[in-house]
Every structure is written in C-alpha cells, then in structure tokens.
Amino acid sequence: MVKLLIACLRLFARLPLTWVRVAGTALGWVLWHAAIARRRIVQVNLHKCLPEWPEAQRNDLAYRHFVAFGQSVMDRAWLWHAPETTVRQRLRWVGDLDALKAPGPLVIFAPHFVGLDAGGMAVSLEVPGPVAFIFSAQSRPAVEAWVRQGRERSGNVRPYFRHQGMRQILAGMKKGEPLHLSADMDFGRSESIFVPFMGVEQAATVPSLSRLSKVVGARVVPVVTRMTPEGYDIEVHAPLADFPSNDVVEDTARVNRLLADWVRTMPEQYYWVHKRFKTRPEGEPGFY
C-alpha cells in the first residue's frame, strides 16, 4: 500500500499545481469526514484559541484547515519528486534572505504551519550548510525511507532525531551549522514550561529557542511558510532583537506572542491537528 501511494505521488509530481491542489482539496474532504478524532482535536484547539468566534465560524475554519492540510500532503509530490527547477519556481522568498546567510551561529525558528516541509526544502536549497533539522522518526520503515529521501533531496540537510538528544546538535551549531527548529509543540511536562498562547494562559511550550541561542550565542531568525495559489511564500522575518534575555520564561512567552500574530494572518494553515494543549498544570483537567 505504501509503495502504491508513493508511486501515485510520483505521478502527481508531473501535474500542474492547480490539479495537485484539487486533489489535495479532495483529500482534505475525505479526512474531514473520516478522521473524526483529529477533527475533534482541531475543534477543541480552535475553541480554546478563538473563543470569541461563533461556533459556525470556527467549524468553517476547521474544515478549511483540513483542506489546507490535504493540499500540503499532496504538495509533497512535487516537493520531493518534481525537477528542482519546478520546485524553485514554486518557492518564493519574501524578506531579507541575507539574514539567513550572515556569518555566525543561527537558529531558524520555523513554526508548524502546513507548509513546514516546503519551507524546510527552500531553506535547504538556499542557506549555506549543511543545515541541521530535527525530525521525528516514522513508525513504518518504508514511509521513513521515503520521507527522508524527500526531505534530504537537496543534499544540504543534516538530519537529527529527537531521541538522540541535543549534544550532537550543539556541537554542530558551535561549528557554524544552522539549525532549523520548530519549537512550538507540546512535547510533555519534562521538556516544557507554561506560558500563554492565544488565550490559553497555561500552554506547555519548549523553551529551546531561548536556551539554545544563549548557549551558542546564536541569532534567531523566524521563517514562516505561507501556502499560496502559486506554491509557497517563505517569509524571512527580522532577527529577534535583544534575544535571548536573562528570563527564559519571558523569552518563550514573547515567541508565543509573535507566533499568535502570524497564526491570525492565516489561521487555516496552522497545525491544529496536533494536541497543542495536551499537557496541563497539575490538577487541571485535560482539554481532549
């Protein structure tokens, strides 16, 4: 089944982008109706983060998120299998790309929007490297091999995995290896601190941006990927000024405030299918 799926995606890589997006819309529709548990997670997240919205408006947003998610899945066909010229044509840089190429240790803060893989591909194609990425291993070997081949197709990727710890990553950063980091998910109590995020006063958040940048003296440059009808815009924001401070809690809360501003510009594209608030303070009931 996995090999058949990969073969189909290789065929989709040859199609015009509009056709691929239509297929992604269909996939999103299927997931909306079939993935009931994930739909519930999305609805809970939106209720917590956008309580001022009417329920009907939140449900419409939830459906549009599944469509955007389905389209991003289908886009991996051309990201991982189309000629490099096609990939580059569909990845448009916005902002000061030189901010990613200046000398010195660098952490690229890349939040979990549906275009995260597209943004990672763009970074690996343009930023001097090798660029370090932290991946989560796939449960099936065939899927793992396919995903790694796709993500590392540029030849400019240094893959690390969460279970390996941070020692190797820090060693690479001290040698000037840029780190592409998505520090906006709930990885459990042992790795997190509680700071506000989009109206939820106690959101478990990993403080790795502040801690890593302090340890190696790295600048932090946010890179936000936005899906567009033509492909993706990879938006390079200004390096975070006066970061890190001496207050890791305030640093992490500051990053969450920035992220919330970006989410509000394209709420259907944030990765709502993740249990963002699964870790609660002691004694507080779970959301899901």
Instruction: Report pLDDT digits (tens) over 184-221.
Output: 989 889 889 999 999 899 999 999 999 999 999 999 99
Tell me which residue range forms the domain holding 87.
2-269
Comparing 166 with 219, which gets the higher pLDDT?
A: 219
Q: Is residue 285 part of a domain?
A: no
What is the predicted pLDDT for the residue at 238? 95
What is the predicted pLDDT for the residue at 2? 66
Alpha-carbon distance of 55 to 250, in angstroms, equals: 32
Query: Which three-class secondary structure string do you get for the chain?
Result: CHHHHHHHHHHHCCCCHHHHHHHHHHHHHHHHHHCHHHHHHHHHHHHHHCCCCCHHHHHHHHHHHHHHHHHHHHHHHHHHHCCHHHHHHHEEEEECHHHHCCCCCEEEECCCECCHHHHHHHHHHHCCCCEEEEECCCCCHHHHHHHHHHHCCCCCEEEEEHHHCCHHHHHHHHCCCCEEECCCCCCCHHHCEEEEECCEEEEEECCHHHHHHHHHCCEEEEEEEEEECCEEEEEECCCCCCCCCCCHHHHHHHHHHHHHHHHHHCHHHECCCCCCCCCCCCCCCCCC
Comparing 141 with 92, which gets the higher pLDDT?
A: 92
Q: Is residue 175 part of a domain?
A: yes
What is the predicted pLDDT for the residue at 138? 76
Q: Is residue 59 part of a domain?
A: yes
pLDDT at 177 over 80: yes
Average pLDDT over residues 110-136: 94
Given a contact cutoff of 8 angstroms between Cβ atoms, the answer to whether 24 and 272 are in contact is: no
Q: Is residue 276 part of a domain?
A: no
Domain total for the chain?
1
Q: Is residue 18 part of a domain?
A: yes
Average pLDDT over residues 236-244: 96
What is the predicted pLDDT for the residue at 257? 97
Q: Is residue 255 part of a domain?
A: yes
pLDDT at 5 over 90: no
Q: Is residue 15 part of a domain?
A: yes
Report pLDDT digits (tens) over 20-60: 999 999 999 999 999 999 999 999 999 999 999 999 999 99
Q: Is residue 150 part of a domain?
A: yes
pLDDT at 172 over 90: no
What is the predicted pLDDT for the residue at 169? 87
Average pLDDT over residues 168-197: 91
pTM of the full structure: 0.94
Average pLDDT over residues 220-232: 98
Alpha-carbon distance of 239 to 256, in angstroms, equals: 15
What is the predicted pLDDT for the residue at 145? 85
Q: What percent of the chain has pLDDT over 70?
A: 98
Query: Which pairs count as long-range contacts for 55-63, CB under 8 Å and 24+ apart, including other chains?
Result: 61/267, 61/268, 62/32, 62/272, 63/28, 63/32
Alpha-carbon distance of 51 to 54, in angstroms, equals: 8
Report pLDDT digits (tens) over 63-117: 999 999 999 999 999 999 999 999 999 999 999 999 999 988 999 999 999 999 9
271 pLDDT band (50/70/90 cuts)? very high
